[in-house]
Structure 1
Amino acid sequence: MHPKFSPWSFSLPLLLLMITYANGENTQNNEGTHHHQHQQHHHESHDTTSPHMDHSVLVFFTLDDLKVGNTMPIYFRGTNPSSSSPHFLPKEEAELIPFSHSKLPSLLHHFGFSRNSPQATAMEDTLRQCELRPIQGETKSCATSLESMLDFVHKIFGLNSKFKVLNTQEFAKTGKFLQNYTIFDDPREVLAPKMVACHTMPYPYVVYYCHHQESESKVFEVSLKGENGSNDNENIVEAVAVCHMDTSQWSSSHVSFQVLGIKPGSSPVCHFFPADNLVWVPLTDNHEGFGDN
């Protein structure tokens, strides 16, 4: 039997709307009206769009790729929220549902999924990922509610900290997930002493894998234009990207190394964030943001 979500439950778009108003910022500002000469560039290891490749891994790049005029194939999965999309649960409701791999059989019964179903496999993978020990220098938490996500961000930044959230904004008119995108404006580094990245995980309700790494990371906002846009204002993506400067502790089998053709610790690894992933950064000035009283 599927759970009956309370009316308080809400989806990611509403979360982002709340955050936008809390920050007093207009995250829908489309700055895609700049005009630059596009100089074609192909990174050797990026030119691997074989039909047998999982195109969803085409989000990785190197710091050297982050320059105006560079063109590379990027996969941005679409976000089409509907009434059937997973929703955040209120903290009180989420805490009543066990979130443990050891409870998987009872969880499958609770949500009405058979043991051999794709949903069961996805739930098992998420629970296993959430229970893995963090790598060296990493602090992680799987947030099953908005409150638990904000609690984790406060834990990393400080109890009285103020912070804001960044996410990729897609203005594309096409439903094509994979296409060539060109950087058409100077990438803007978001200066922050710390960051928390939160990634969506497959589950019957919204779960975010949030983590902070002590090793240096840089956050960028990158203006991209897809090849399928018919004019200057179409098919624009204002993307959030993170560059991990030290990858020496990463597993050599990490997919980024396979995509980029590099080895752990040899080069910073950067990746774009899909629209439903979040990057939290502390505020270092007097701007209002989340965490204000």
Structure 2
Amino acid sequence: MARSLAALLLLLLVGTVASGYQYEEGSVGRTFFLQHDLYPGSNMTLHFTRAAPGAPSLPRARADAIPFTSAKIPEILSLFSIPAGSPAAAAVRSTLAECEAPRFPGVAAQRCATSFESMVDFAASSLGTRGIRAGMTKLSREGATPRQAYVVESVVPLPVIGRDMVACHCMPYPYAVFGCHTTTAAVFTKLGVTPGTVAVCHFLPQDGKLWMRK
């Protein structure tokens, strides 16, 4: 039986976001659908993966003093006492490779921010103002949620000044790193669960942030 889930879910239009960031298999970030599918009473099967305890966030001065390049991987692994052949080391290599990759087609600006301050600065610079706010996906229930069917209770578009926004996603690393990119996606408030978008879209995972003008 489909469950109703009271939640604030932010939606991204993949067609315009063109994000290269990867999400956990089966998570809401990997579930794609169309806007016309998003309406009260519609339903879909989703898996809300809980954001794991985040890596420590470093002050910008500390983060900027640490090498953040594939050329210094041995030094980085040594600094954080990470065994070279471990899954954690593979995550470091993967994140650095993704951060150093060419900008994804259709994305005006893209950056990996190694501190909260640098993430805010990137968002403000991209949006052309320091007057910005961040939206996040929030669930009303605590604890793990299995992959199951949900039904949408309501859909309320959020007003976004200028339509352009900056999406930031947490990336696997010894400390907090945010993969950020510009987007002109539409954003919706949803109480419950389910589809939506003229282009292809997906929900913003719980550990992501969507920056927009106030």
- Using the size of structure 1 for normalisation, the TM-score is 0.60
Larger Rg over CA atoms: 1
| 1:274 corresponds to | 205
Q: 1:150-208, CA deviations, whole angstroms, 9 ceiling, x for partnerless residues?
A: 110111111x4311110011112451242212110133243332100000100010100
Cα distance in 2, alignment partners of residues 201 and 117 from structure 1: 17
Cα distance in 2 for residues equivalent to 1:59 and 1:65: 13
Corresponding position of 2:46: 74
Q: CA deviation at 1:117?
A: 0.5
Change (3 A) 1:78 1:186: same
Q: Which residue of 1 aligns with 2:123?
A: 153
Cα distance, 1:96–1:58 mapped onto 2, change above 3 Å: closer
Does residue 55 (structure 1) correspond to residue 19 (structure 2)? The answer is no
State yes or no: 1:113 paired with 2:44.
Answer: no
Q: Does 1:176 align with 2:145?
A: yes
1:217, distance to aligned residue in structure 2 (A): 1.8
The 5 Å alignment of 1:188-227 reads 188-193=157-162, 194-213=164-183, 216-224=184-192
What is the aligned partner in structure 1 of residue 12 from structure 2? none
Q: Distance in 2 between matches of 1:197 and 1:54?
A: 20
Tell me whether 1:132 sits opposite 2:101 in the alignment: yes
Conservation of the 8 A alpha-carbon contact between 2:160 and 2:213: no
* Runs of 4+ in structure 1 over 4 Å off: none
Deviations 1:10-66, CA, capped at 9 Å, x for gaps: xxxxxxxxxxxxxxxxxxxxx949xxxxxxxxxxxxxxxxxxx94236432211211
Question: Quick one: higher RCO (CA 8 Å, sep 6+), 1 or 2?
Answer: 2
Percent identity reads 33
CA distance in 2, matches of 1:177, 1:121: 28
Residue type at the aligned position of 1:271: H
- 2:149 counterpart SS class: strand
- Residue 164 of structure 1 is matched in structure 2 by 133
Does structure 1 conserve the Cα–Cα contact (< 8 Å) formed by 2:165 and 2:212?
yes
- The answer to whether the 8 A contact 2:6-2:139 is kept is no
Paired position in structure 1 for 2:61? 92
1:187 paired with 2:187, answer no
Alpha-carbon distance change, 95 to 157 in structure 1, aligned in 2, over 3 angstroms: same
* Residue 234 (structure 1) aligns with: none
User: Residue 218 of structure 1 aligns to a residue in which SS?
Assistant: coil
Can you give the 5+ residue segments of structure 2 that lack an aligned partner in the other structure? 8-23
Post-superposition Cα deviations, 1:258-278, rounded to whole Å, max 9, x if no partner, equal xxxxxxxxxx11111121100
Residue type of the alignment partner of 1:182: V
**Equivalents in 2 of 1:205, 1:177: separation in Å?**
28
Name the CA shift for 1:54/1:157 in 2 (closer, same or farther; >3 Å).
closer
**Cα RMSD after superposing both structures:** 2.5
Paired residue secondary structure (1:61): coil
Cα distance, 1:150–1:100 mapped onto 2, change above 3 Å: same
- Normalising by structure 2, we get a TM-score of 0.81
Compare 144-153 and 160-169 and name the one that shifted more.
160-169
Equivalent pairs, count: 191
